[in-house]
Amino acid sequence: MFTLGSVLDNELKSTVEDFSFETNFSTNQLMLPNIEKPFEFAQSIIGLEKDLQENENQLMFHQQKKEERKERALIKGYKGTTTLAFIYEKGTVIAVDSRATSGQYIASQSVQKVVPINSYMLGTLAGGAADCQFFLAHLGRICNLYELRNNETISVAAASKLLNNILYSYRNYGLSVGSMICGYDTRGPQLYYIDSDGSRLKNSLFSVGSGSPFAYGVLDAGYRWDLSKEEALDLGRRAICAATFKDSYSGGTIKVYHIDENGWVKISDDDASELWYEYEKKEKKEKK
Amino acid sequence: MDSLVGFVGKNYVLMAGDTNAGRSIMRLKEDFDKLVPVDSHKILAKSGEIGDGNQFCNLIIRNVSLYRINNETELSTKSVAHYTRRQLATAIRKNPYSVNLLLGGYDKKDQKGSLYYLDYLGSSKKINYGAQGYAALFVGSILDRFWKEDLDFEDGLELMKKCLREVEKRLIIGTRCFLIKMINSDGIAVVEKVMINSKKKNEIEEEN
């Protein structure tokens, strides 16, 4: 039946198929390298502890020691970062550091760990930078298409569920994503934690990364639902600052964002090392 | 590590689960509900990986709903248990779901409650009382000793709290908060959200 709706739908589909990876995600097919046994290949090059133990018995590896195999692993998952987000009465606060490490080496001090999904939703990056950047950008594309097709803004719950389903289908392939989807929709401020293991959790505060225990300490001690905007932003900034002080894999600059009913806004961008000593100076002044 | 406890009483099934969701040593969420309703009279209590639990339970729940829509009849607890087991068994050698489940349900036809123990390997057993996770080590003996056929609701609730108190006392991983749900002829009801502090003698605080 060629109704106007179906013709338009076909039109949209044909333009969408021009993006070579779009169809694979929308029809839920996994994108895999064009080789005979993609799963085994993925398993052999990722350096996950549990998989290295399983390979113990395979003929190819039985003579190599575990340490040698670890070094051979081309892709290693790092979660050297600190990101946090929490929701409160007036909206959502997101604070991140900006350091990227490659083993003991600091690869960059100015990484963008917050990726905008649309004008009222942000995603944070932790784990593999490439994985997070790609999937969050892709989520942005899917959300845009959703809004065009359905003439309504996508909810944070739906956006996070879309990402969750995609990541779940890749769950044993060695992706490393620890992302938080934060936004403001008709239900108010929302925060979801999405993992490459396939978990999706909704809560009022999360912190992800190697520095997250340190950030949780400061965050849990100062968090209340009825914070004022300045207090909330200060809490986020201080929590990341504490994490960068203690965790060597976190540092660089501390970026703070705020989302409310008007959309997201970047609030501040401070050097982590300087901020710590500024806080110290401030407290010394107050003591006097 | 998740703790799930369940047993069958006189015309009801009582189930409890801890409310922690975490990642390695960290607790990410303290009010995570692990007892998901399959339909109005059945609960799937999930334990294991969060992602697998969510996706697998969603699969079962949606397929049970689909059956109801297609055939205009509700499935019995036994049927749901068999279906769930089959899904777990076919997946185990391809793409295993690391979830262990307790399926509790009340069948209006038999006027009885039933409880099934389902494993990630695809095992399934109808039980009168049981537990999943580390709780099974501590709670198994308590239920062996004190469970009786046709327990009244008050006695059953007291037995459940005895079990949860033991879990809180002996499990080194902190689980203080538990959610207790009951299924009877009226459907699913949240009985209590308890926070247990075994250091205070016999003191259990109720939340909300």
Mean pLDDT of chain A: 82
Q: What is the pLDDT of residues A4-18, one digit of tens each?
A: 555 555 555 544 444
Q: What is the pLDDT of residues B157-194, one digit of tens each?
A: 999 999 999 999 998 887 889 999 999 999 999 998 88
C-alpha to C-alpha distance for A132 and A118, rounded to whole angstroms: 16
**pLDDT for res B26:** 86
Top-confidence residue, B77 or A49: B77
**pLDDT for res B172:** 84
- Kindly indicate the confidence band of residue A23, based on its pLDDT and cuts at 50, 70 and 90: very low
- Kindly indicate the confidence band of residue A223, based on its pLDDT and cuts at 50, 70 and 90: very high
C-alpha to C-alpha distance for B26 and B22, rounded to whole angstroms: 5
- Complex-level ipTM: 0.85
Please, are residues B155 and B12 in contact by the beta-carbon 8 Å criterion? no
| Main-chain phi, psi angles of A250, to 5 degrees | -120, 145
Question: Which chain B residues are within 8 Å of A201, Cβ to Cβ?
Answer: 21, 28-29, 32, 50
Catalytic residue status for A244: no
Q: Please, what is the Cα angle at B21 between B20 and B27, to 5 degrees? A: 85
Yes or no, beta carbons of B50 and A168 under 8 Å apart: no
- Residue B62, amino acid: R
- Kindly indicate the confidence band of residue A87, based on its pLDDT and cuts at 50, 70 and 90: very high
Question: Which chain A residues are within 8 Å of B27, Cβ to Cβ?
Answer: none
Task: Identify the residue among A40, A43, A177, A197 best suited for mutation to test binding to B, counting B beta carbons within 10 A and taking the highest.
Answer: A197
- Window A:82-111, CB contacts with B under 8 Å: none
| Mean pLDDT, rounded, for A140-157 | 95
Please, are residues A162 and A142 in contact by the beta-carbon 8 Å criterion? yes
- Kindly indicate the confidence band of residue B207, based on its pLDDT and cuts at 50, 70 and 90: low
**pLDDT for res A162:** 95
Residue A206 has its nearest CB partner, among B28, B50, B55, at: B28
Ranking A35-44, A201-210, A232-241, B135-144 by mean pLDDT, the lowest is A35-44
Please, are residues A169 and A28 in contact by the beta-carbon 8 Å criterion? yes
Residue of B nearest to A199 (CA): B51
Residue of A nearest to B54 (CA): A199
Is the pLDDT confidence value at A221 over 60? yes
**pLDDT for res A248:** 92
> Would you state the structure tokens that stand for residue A73, as one six-digit string?
């692993």
Residue B55 has its nearest CB partner, among A168, A206, A216, at: A168
**pLDDT for res A62:** 41
